[in-house]
Chain A
């Protein structure tokens, strides 16, 4: 079954599509979720959640904008991050000082941060492929240095050093962007 046929089955809400989705993409979802959640049980929950979300929101998938796998990877990654955040214990209500101003950024700060993120994304896009892959591994997939080292054949130290240098390059590019403005 091709990817397109599978998507079509899911669009038609055919149960066979859900079955095939889990069999075919289960490994990918676990691969993306595991470094973020770091827990096998949570990964299985994530897989179920992702399956539901794909089933429900398949309408928002646009083939023109990218592959199904890329769409699925992004959904999984963001969902896993949300699950991780929500799993954090909440601070006790009593501990909050209602007299203090809120920590959440204001509209201006948000706008500046969004602009910085867009500039950074553009800077990442301009990197050579190998460097981009390392950055995505570390900051999109949230992979550990050990995993990056194992899959790329680098030593952990070399992976760390290389990522550090790429980050320095990005910081420099960001600085140039700021200066231009």
Chain B
């Protein structure tokens, strides 16, 4: 369409040029305004629609296909667009506008940290935790100032509205949030058990009631809302949306580039020096706990149970063949070998052997995938260590295009620093029930190695702060994190960890031995490496499959009930 259309002369109906058409439109529309147009022409309603849509999206704390952060950012954008229209109306709306912008900035900064990937993954956990707290505070402040802004509009209009219900609901929302925060903190410390599902239900109800109450107030202010002077948008909505979406998408895409650990897979050549020791150890007798009542229990259930052992199959040569010659030398000449646990999850098998060799006990934890993993990418193993010097060793194996390959573990930045010394005599005693030999994907906070944490005396001072902050989040460290990346098309994936345990008071103690965190989907948002997935928790209330699942494989009780060593 060009000017020629508007300025062309028409015959018959007169010929509305540009000005003529304007006049004709003025008279053509003078008969009245249709209802839908009437509803659409108001400075108040569209702003309120944007604000409420934004608040709903910002308040969604549950994951929908792991896109909670994207949903929250969308909510922030809508809130910004809504509140900025009203910012000149009163100071409370202005504050809401600023708070929404801050919330968007915090969420986008989380995406920026995501882009740093594995280099900052433990920092990210701390930051995420802090950001979560800040966002919660911003949201509460936004709701409070929003209510205050509505109150000012009500005052200006002179039409009294019942605001008591909205105030009460808002107070309850804050109370529930505070309780969740406290409960989460205590739960992370291992003091309180269980999940927060009940809180989530109450919180959802409080959110729904809160929004309903505010929405009702906003609706009642529709007529007085005509007195609102919409602020001139210096930057049009579409530009704000485009900029924030572009930034978010770019950062989201950037996170994909750094979400895997460095790939160190190389072709595997067996160590010729190891074969003789492998053969010797694979013939040595192995004991395991007897199961006379055929209960399936691999360990005694409670103190005082009669300990009975029975012969088990020798340590498989395939398992031993994964070890290096140096590692095998630690095991060579072991006086006794115990099969401590032999467990299965849906996708993986695990086994734990204890090699008693003089004053030393070496535990060999191995895992193997039953089938090719469905998702490639970062995986992580968390191994409990007994003191700073007591590092573990281990490797991963797989077959890539039919070629046997091997990879060292990647210790994430701060992975070793994640260590916090434990007093094992205490942790063993207090946490020795319930999880022995179990393999499962939940209830990590009950695991013994986490719940009883004492003594940081062996921990280097420069890492204590990080640890303390992380402890708030996931309830204790005392673990080393080892990561690796599963290549695409990998088959026959397996690996092991060899670790020396300490002996004390003629008994052997151990905490949680190992957790295996697996990436379940290629679609991860926000980006987490497996190590992050492990420490940030995978048991949040979620509508979708989480990007990570963790098998917790604890055998502490099994060690606890080992007979006294000679």
Residues of B within 8 A of A (CB): 1-2, 5-6, 8, 10-14, 16, 18, 21-22, 24-38, 40-43, 46, 81, 85, 157-159, 223-227, 229-233, 236-239
Contact = CB atoms under 8 A, between A and B. Distances in A.
A155 interface: yes
A98 B399 CA distance: 106
19 contacts: A25-B223, A70-B35, A112-B14, A117-B27, A118-B28, A132-B36, A133-B37, A135-B29, A139-B29, A149-B232, A150-B230, A153-B81, A153-B236, A153-B237, A158-B236, A167-B21, A170-B21, A171-B6, A177-B13
Contacts of A7: none
Interface string A153-181: 11100100000010111111011011001
A117, A129, A135, A138 pick with most chain B CB within 10 angstroms: A117
Contacts of B233: 149-150, 153-155
Contacts of A124: 25, 28-29
A132 B28 CA distance: 13
B85 A150 contact: yes
Contacts of B236: 149, 153-155, 158
Interface string A66-90: 1101110110011001000000000
B16 A73 contact: no
Contacts, number: 168
A171 B12 contact: no
B1 A121 contact: no
Contact of B13 (A142, A167, A169, A174): A174
A147 B232 CA distance: 8
Contacts of B227: 27, 30-31
A116 interface: yes
A120 B24 contact: yes
Closest 7 interchain pairs by CB? A168-B1, A153-B237, A27-B227, A27-B226, A31-B226, A150-B230, A117-B28
A174 B10 contact: yes
B33 A129 contact: no
Interface of A: 23-25, 27-28, 30-31, 66-67, 69-71, 73-74, 77-78, 81, 109, 112-113, 115-121, 124-125, 129, 132-133, 135-142, 146-147, 149-155, 158, 165, 167-172, 174-175, 177-178, 181
A150 B33 contact: no
A112 to B, nearest CB: 6
Contact of A116 (B14, B40, B225): B14
A32 B419 CA distance: 69
A133 B223 contact: no
B438 to A, nearest CB: 56
Given A25-B223, A116-B13, A171 B5 contact: yes
B30 A78 contact: yes
A74, A116, A153 pick with most chain B CB within 10 angstroms: A153
A138 B225 CA distance: 20
Contacts of A150: 43, 85, 229-233
